[in-house]
A = this chain, B = another copy of it.
Amino acid sequence: MLKLGILGNGTVGSGVVELVRKNAEYIKRRSGTEVVISKILVKDMDKHINNHNEEIITNNIQDVYSEDVDIVVEAMGGLHPAYEYIKSFLQQKKHVVTANKDVVAKYGRELAVLAEENNVSLRFEASVAGGIPILKPLQECLAGNDIKYLMAILNGTTNFILSKMYNESMKYEEALKIAQQLGFAEANPDSDVLGYDSARKLAILSSISYDEKVDWEDIGVQGITEIDDIDILCAKELNCTIKLLATSIKKEDGIYASVRPVLVPIYGYFGKIESEFNGILLEGDAVGQMFFCGKGAGKLPTASAVLGDIFDVIENKKQRSMLIGNKKAILKSKLSEKAKWLLRIKCQNTEEILSRVKESFKACESFENKDWLQNEAAMVVEAVNEEYIDGVVKELKLLPGVEHIKKLIKVDNI
C-alpha cells in the first residue's frame, strides 16, 4: 500500500483526490499497488466539516508528517508555507509532486538539488500549462534537440479577458469583473494581468529547454492592463487578435525572454486558443516546429498532470532532476530581430506626426479614415530591432502635440 498526503483541498487538491479515487482500480492494476489518500491538509476545518473525507482531513501539518506518507502532493499554491513544507518533506525522503509554479519558479533549483541529495523525486508537470504534457516531453522525448525558441499562451485568466474583449467588444475592466465573478480571476488579479504568472511559467519552461537557470524576475514583462478597445479594433483591421504571449529565444549571447501582448493572426496557431486553453509552440533543431494545446487550468486538467507525476513516482521512473542547470542565463528583453509593430500616437496634429513617422521607417502603413481613431495616428511599422523603434518613440515623444505613444508587436508567421 502506498500512502498519499495532499496539502491543500482547493481546486487542484480536491481534483487530485477525485481523480486518484476514480482511478484506484486502474492504478492498482497498473502498478500492483493500492494507493490510498491518507491525509488532506486544509486551512479551515470548518469548511470541510461535512466533507466525505472528514476522517483524514487535518489543519495541522504535524498530522501529515506523522502519517508517514510515501508521496506528498503539494496543491496549496503561494510561496509560503508551501516552500517550507516541500523542503521538509524532501528532507524526510518523501517524494513530492507539486502544481505550484510560484515555488518552482523561485525555489525550483534548490528543491531539485535537495530531492537529488535525498534520492527522492520532485515532479511538477502541473505547474506549467495545466493538463498539457509539456515538461516531460521537453525533458525526455525531445532531449536530443537544441530548443531554438518557445512561444506560449500560459495564463488562462488573461486569455479569458482578451477573448471577451475581442469576441464581445468588452472593455478590459468589464471583462476582468466577469472573470472574477466566474472565479477565473483572483480578487487581486495582479499576478495574472500584469504577466507575472506567465513569466514564472516561462522561466520554468525555459530553464528546462535551455538547461540554464532562468530567473523569472529577470524576464521583461508587460501585462494586459493597458490593452484598450482601439488596440482590439486595430487588431481586427489586421486580421489579428491580441494574446499575452510568453516568448523565449535562445541566442548566441543570451536568451531573449519576454511576456507581452502580441498581435497574432486569427487563423494561426494562437489565434483560436481561447479562454482556459493554453498553447505552446516550440522549435527544436532536429524535430522542427511543434505545437501543443489543451486546457491550462482547472480542477481535472491539473489533476491529470499531477496523476501522471504520481504514476512516475510509483513506477520509480527516476529522472535526471530538471532545473539542475547551474549556469545562470543572461536574459535580454529587447528583441534584436526585425519585426512589425503597431504604433499608436495620441496627438492633435496627426498628419504632421504621421509624416514624421514615415521618415523613420521604410515600411509604414497607417490606418486611414477610421472614425474610432480620435486625435490619434495609428500605423504598422517595420523596425530593424526593438532598440531602433524605442529610439524613434523617444524622439517622437518630444514633438509638440504628442501626448502619448504606445507600441505593440505584431508577429505574422505563427
The answer to whether A311 and B144 touch across the interface, beta carbons within 8 angstroms, is yes
- Does A209 lie at the interface of the complex (its beta carbon under 8 Å from any beta carbon of B)? no
B-contacting residues, A13-67, CB 8 Å: 19-20, 23, 30-31
The answer to whether A288 and B284 touch across the interface, beta carbons within 8 angstroms, is no
Copies in the complex: 2
Complex Cα gap A132–B294 (Å): 15
- Does A136 lie at the interface of the complex (its beta carbon under 8 Å from any beta carbon of B)? yes
The answer to whether A141 and B133 touch across the interface, beta carbons within 8 angstroms, is yes
* A114–chain B nearest beta-carbon distance, Å: 20
Q: Is the interface of A mostly helix, strand, loop or mixed?
A: mixed
* A290–chain B nearest beta-carbon distance, Å: 4
- Does A315 lie at the interface of the complex (its beta carbon under 8 Å from any beta carbon of B)? yes
The answer to whether A317 and B320 touch across the interface, beta carbons within 8 angstroms, is no
B-contacting residues, A263-318, CB 8 Å: 267, 272, 284-295, 298, 300-301, 303-305, 307-308, 310-312, 315-318
Complex Cα gap A165–B270 (Å): 27
The answer to whether A316 and B318 touch across the interface, beta carbons within 8 angstroms, is yes
The answer to whether B290 and A291 touch across the interface, beta carbons within 8 angstroms, is no
The answer to whether B315 and A286 touch across the interface, beta carbons within 8 angstroms, is no
Given contacts A19-B286, A286-B19, contact A304 B142 (CB under 8 A): yes
The answer to whether B288 and A301 touch across the interface, beta carbons within 8 angstroms, is yes
The answer to whether A292 and B295 touch across the interface, beta carbons within 8 angstroms, is no
- Does A143 lie at the interface of the complex (its beta carbon under 8 Å from any beta carbon of B)? yes
Given contacts A144-B19, A305-B141, contact A294 B288 (CB under 8 A): yes
The answer to whether A140 and B311 touch across the interface, beta carbons within 8 angstroms, is yes
Given B293, B303, B312, which contacts A286 in the complex, CB threshold below 8 Å? B303
- Does A5 lie at the interface of the complex (its beta carbon under 8 Å from any beta carbon of B)? no
Complex Cα gap A155–B293 (Å): 21
Complex Cα gap A304–B285 (Å): 9
- Does A137 lie at the interface of the complex (its beta carbon under 8 Å from any beta carbon of B)? yes
Given contacts A23-B144, A293-B291, contact A300 B317 (CB under 8 A): no
- Does A118 lie at the interface of the complex (its beta carbon under 8 Å from any beta carbon of B)? no
Q: Which residues of B contact A315 (CB under 8 A)?
A: 318-320
- Does A125 lie at the interface of the complex (its beta carbon under 8 Å from any beta carbon of B)? yes
Query: Interface digits, A137-165 against B, CB 8 Å rule (1 contact, 0 not)?
Result: 10011111100000000000000000000
Complex Cα gap A316–B316 (Å): 10
Q: Which residues of B contact A141 (CB under 8 A)?
A: 125, 133, 136-137, 304-305, 308
- Does A77 lie at the interface of the complex (its beta carbon under 8 Å from any beta carbon of B)? no
Q: Which residues of B contact A285 (CB under 8 A)?
A: 300
Q: Which residues of B contact A294 (CB under 8 A)?
A: 287-291
Q: Which residues of B contact A143 (CB under 8 A)?
A: 30, 307-308, 311
The answer to whether B301 and A286 touch across the interface, beta carbons within 8 angstroms, is yes
- Does A131 lie at the interface of the complex (its beta carbon under 8 Å from any beta carbon of B)? yes
The answer to whether A131 and B287 touch across the interface, beta carbons within 8 angstroms, is yes
* A73–chain B nearest beta-carbon distance, Å: 13
Given contacts A142-B308, A287-B301, A308-B140, contact A318 B320 (CB under 8 A): no
Complex Cα gap A317–B267 (Å): 40
The answer to whether A304 and B316 touch across the interface, beta carbons within 8 angstroms, is no
* A277–chain B nearest beta-carbon distance, Å: 8
The answer to whether B303 and A144 touch across the interface, beta carbons within 8 angstroms, is yes
Given contacts A142-B133, A144-B311, A311-B140, contact A295 B287 (CB under 8 A): yes
Chain A residues near B (Cβ < 8 Å) = 19-20, 23, 30-31, 125, 131-133, 136-137, 140-145, 267, 272, 284-295, 298, 300-301, 303-305, 307-308, 310-312, 315-320
List 4 A-B pairs, minimum CB-CB distance, nearest first.
A144-B307, A133-B141, A290-B294, A131-B287
Q: A19-B286, A285-B300 are in contact. List 9 more A-B contacts (CB 8 A).
A: A20-B144, A133-B137, A140-B312, A144-B308, A145-B304, A267-B267, A284-B304, A287-B294, A315-B319
